[in-house]
Structure 1
Amino acid sequence: MRVVAGDFGGRPLKTLEGKTTRPTTDKVKGAIFNMIGPFFDGGRVLDLFSGSGSLAIEAISRGMSSAVLVEKDRRAQAIIQQNIKMTKSEKQFQLLKMDAARALTQLTGQFDLVLLDPPYAKEQIVANITQLEEQGLLAEEVMLVCETDKAVDLPEEISNFGIWKQKTYGISKVTVYVR
């Protein structure tokens, strides 16, 4: 696995061995960012189920200003820290070592891009988006990128958001919501 494009493009990323995380493949990661960008002029990104941190690192590599990564698994946290160190831009990243539910009670400010790839997709994505919106954590022009198994059918609308784009890549489905 590697950073696909941008300032850190081509740099290798570590992933967690085993089945506790499902790293987004380079092909799907490239496709996601081509759908939503592919490059950014600043902004703040939230990666609520970070795994290896590769999606948030890709977002920073492509021009986002700062990222908050949330991960509860200790082994995954160690991988994220190694991957962030590889960027040599550690100040742009903040790792919250806790589960998403706890993080959602502690987050402040607004996010321009939210990456959601939870283990139990549909129920958690709907609840997470609703809570983020209720807490005023989402910028007006926010993009919500949800990665799920291709069999998962997310609702057409969640809170004040509707599906903008949706594509299937192999076993993964990417759904992007906007206001």
Structure 2
Amino acid sequence: MSLRVIAGQWRGRRLQTPPGAHTRPTSDRVREAVFSMLGPLDEDIRVLDLFAGTGAMGIEALSRGAGHAVFCDEDRRAVDVIRGNLAALDAGPAVATVLRGDARTVVRDARTRQDTYDLIFLDPPYELAEELGEALQDDVAAILAAGGRVLTESGRRRPMDLEGLPMSKERRYGTTLIRIHSA
């Protein structure tokens, strides 16, 4: 599958995807709709892209003006692809950090360090979304900056719920369910 950056400084640039069926990239159509819902991003925005896969969501945020993005995936091939995509865009460590690890551990470590993020993307494997929503909700709420937003992407049949954070928007795109929660 070929992906492209939808808008911003890297508009039209192609992104690579990991080989195999393990990674399910967010389609261009859904990313465009998501960023339309989110509105403008500025250089003060710190992004956390969990279950990053190709890094498309975090890269799109950077392209549209976010100041820094942290990308996390536990699959080595995905991490290599994210690093390659960032290198192809000349997005260095000043704007992007890539971590290989379990999302629960990364979020707990961020909470321990008292890191905060203005925009958090949660796009786990659909079959794990319910379970991971429960496991992550308290720590995600703790690292969400005041006025921040969490965007979840999951399947319509087994959605990811973050009960501690109010949901401000919900949209369906085929079998994909997008929810935006606010601090």
TM-score, scaled relative to structure 1? 0.92
Deviation at 1:154, TM superposition (A): 4.3
Which secondary structure state, in structure 1, belongs to the residue aligned with residue 169 of structure 2? strand
SS at 1:141 equivalent: strand
Q: Distance in 1 between matches of 2:99 and 2:123?
A: 16
The AA in structure 2 aligned to 1:99 is: D
Letter in 2 for 1:74: R
Q: How does 1:136-155 map to 2 (within 5 A)?
A: 136-155=142-161
Counterpart position of 1:86: 88
Aligned counterpart, 2:182? 178
* Distance in 2 (alpha carbons) for counterparts of 1:117 and 1:31: 15
| Pairs within 5 Å for 1:21-36 | 21-36=23-38
Q: Which residue of 2 aligns with 1:116?
A: 122
Match of 1:126 in 2: 134
**Per-residue displacement from partner, 1:115-160 (whole Å, max 9, x unpaired)?**
0011211221232121122xx31101111000001222444x622x
For the aligned residues, what is the CA RMSD? 1.4
Q: Take 2:105 and 2:69, find their aligned partners in 1: how far apart are those partners?
A: 17
The separation in 1 between residues aligned to 2:29 and 2:134, in whole angstroms, is 26
CA–CA separation in structure 2 for the residues paired with 1:152 and 1:80: 27
Question: Does the C-alpha gap of structure 1 residues 106 and 169 become closer, same or farther in structure 2, counting only changes over 3 Å?
Answer: same
CA–CA separation in structure 2 for the residues paired with 1:52 and 1:130:
26
Q: Which residue of 2 aligns with 1:40?
A: 41
Unaligned runs of 5+ in 1: none
TM-score under structure 2 normalisation? 0.90
Q: SS of 1:60's equivalent?
A: helix
Read off the aligned partner of 1:98 and give its amino acid letter: G
Counterpart CA distance in 2 for 1:129 and 1:3 is: 29
Unaligned runs of 5+ in 2: none
Quote the offset at 1:33 in angstroms. Answer: 0.6
Following superposition, which runs of at least 4 residues in structure 1 exceed 4 angstroms of deviation? none
The answer to whether the 8 Å contact 1:130/1:158 transfers is no
